[in-house]
Amino acid sequence: MSNTDPTEIWRLSASRVATLVRQRKLSAFEAAQSALARLDAVNPKLNAVVDHRPDEVLAHARAIDAALARGEDPGPLAGVPVTVKINIDQQGFATSNGVNLQKEWIAASNSPVVDNLLKAGAVIVGRTNAPAFSYRWFTDNRLHGRTVNPRDSALTPGGSSGGAASSIAAGIGHIAHGTDIAGSIRYPAYACGIHGLRPSLGRVAAYNAVTPERIISGQITAVSGPLARTVDDLRLALAAMSAPDPRDPWWVPAPLVGPAAPRCVALCVAPDGMTTQPEVVAALRDAAERLRDAGWTVDEVDALPPIRDAVQVQIALWMGDGYAGMVAAAEREGDAGAIAALAGQATLARSMTLEKFSTALVRRAAITRQWQVFLERYPVVLLPACAELPFADDLDLQGPDAYARVWEAQMTMIGLPLTGLPSLVVSTGMVGRAPVGVQLVAGRYREDLCLAAGEAIEARGVPPMPIDPQ
């Protein structure tokens, strides 16, 4: 059926695969075969995908081809191989979140994210790894083991969606699902040299029936979103993921494209005194020039609305609600990374009271308001994804100073989710064997502005992708 080299299908964009499948110039079965062959070739080196069932994958692909043969439209992601993270429900699979404590938590139904990907015609080829409890920006756990960054095995692949980013960078699937409460989509994208979109709170419906209801901090700061090798594929994935589902009370029926806005960007290379490495500053200034070349106005500003303060509020809400239970679970699991992540915030978490928690929620509203007002003047903000190039793997376990360095460098990763605003990491190049990129922020439900600016940056050069593991 296909004139496409079957050994090269995995290299194509998701948009191209979907177009070819709908035109019946490529079968969904061929696309699935190619994805599975690529998984077999590189996953033993990466451990990015930790659970998959090839027979079910191929059966699903055949069903899509059969629907096309009947004249049916399988959806905008027709036949596109995708991956989902091990912390969301997929019927018949364990929602393990990287811990032995949950390895028997078999989902009886799909998360809305999975259902919406399937409704759009995607083929789920596997489930990607995460750190235990999805707590770290490094991906390792006692249940599934360590995930490797395909660009440089000495670097973290990021976390918590490290398996998702590693898989996309290496060509296992064309779109990956990730989750983000403090950078867990954006940082893995940055570390693996791909693109990652954290949507607005309420854009993508999510819910796990197999796990307890989320605490309030998770409900108001955690989101699901896509990682991909092109900005256009992120746009396609977002459209599929953001379909309605009544199980998520936070879901909002907001349009994917908002009203016209000035192509005006605020560049800030060192928000709130961030000690941004020269290589990262250079990437930001390069991205600004790319935007100017594309017709955008870019003003460099010395200050943005609060980020450092937002970090403290975010940590207070995240760690201060049920902290003792988190620590007890981490200790039962015996995961060193999870224990260290929690121990590093012990002073703040153990000092939390109901009054302090209420004060943090009040402060969240004030910080969000300041950001929304600023974004009326500058519809897009360009700022660091991280203060440093991707960290050496397990840097956070190298003592208190290293732990503090990691959390300080991740200020924008942690602080921005407090506001519920969308943010996009675009990979722009390499510094030696380390990827580098930038972060874009826009107003609530204005992912379209992030994507438009990201596309202008992307058009002027990105690292090679997909790649063979280095």
DSSP state of 11: G
Q: What is the mean pLDDT of residues 342-365?
A: 94
Q: What is the mean pLDDT of residues 415-438?
A: 98
Please give the Cα distance from 27 to 223 (Å, whole number).
Answer: 32
Asked whether the beta carbons of 314 and 320 are under 8 A apart, the reply is no
Backbone dihedral angles phi then psi of residue 225, each to the nearest 5 degrees = -165, 180
Among 205-209, 340-344, 424-428, where is mean pLDDT lowest?
A: 340-344
Residues annotated as catalytic (active site), given as ranges: 85, 160, 184
> Is 24 contained in some domain?
yes
Backbone dihedral angles phi then psi of residue 395, each to the nearest 5 degrees = -60, -35
The CATH number of the domain holding residue 334 is 3.90.1300.10
Q: How many domains does the chain have?
A: 1
> Is 315 contained in some domain?
yes
* Beta-carbon contacts of residue 23 (< 8 Å; ≥ 6 apart): none
Whether the per-residue pLDDT at 1 is higher than 50: the answer is no
Peptide linkage before 305 cis (omega within 30 of 0): no
In this predicted structure, what is the pLDDT of residue 3? Answer: 56
> Is 60 contained in some domain?
yes
Please give the Cα distance from 414 to 430 (Å, whole number).
Answer: 24
pLDDT digits (tens, 9 = 90+) for 99-143: 999 999 999 999 999 999 999 999 999 999 999 999 999 999 999
In this predicted structure, what is the pLDDT of residue 246? Answer: 98
Asked whether the beta carbons of 284 and 383 are under 8 A apart, the reply is yes
Percent of the chain with pLDDT over 90: 97
In this predicted structure, what is the pLDDT of residue 433? Answer: 96
pLDDT digits (tens, 9 = 90+) for 229-282: 999 999 999 999 999 999 999 999 999 999 999 999 999 999 999 999 999 999
Closest to 64 measured CA to CA, from 80, 53, 44, 87: 80
Asked whether the beta carbons of 369 and 430 are under 8 A apart, the reply is no
Q: What is the pTM of this model?
A: 0.97
Q: What is the mean pLDDT of residues 333-359?
A: 94
Give the N- to C-terminal CA distance of the chain in Å, as an integer.
34
pLDDT digits (tens, 9 = 90+) for 55-103: 999 999 999 999 999 999 999 999 999 999 999 999 999 999 999 999 9
* Host domain of residue 449: 9-458
Tokens found for residue 457: 């940056």
> Is 417 contained in some domain?
yes
In this predicted structure, what is the pLDDT of residue 6? Answer: 67
Please give the Cα distance from 193 to 470 (Å, whole number).
Answer: 13
> Is 26 contained in some domain?
yes
Tokens found for residue 324: 């003792």
Instruction: Give the residue carrying structure tokens 């990763």.
Output: 413
> Is 466 contained in some domain?
no
Cβ count within 10 A of residue 56:
13
In this predicted structure, what is the pLDDT of residue 4? Answer: 63
pLDDT digits (tens, 9 = 90+) for 166-210: 999 999 999 999 999 999 999 999 999 999 999 999 999 999 999
> Is 272 contained in some domain?
yes
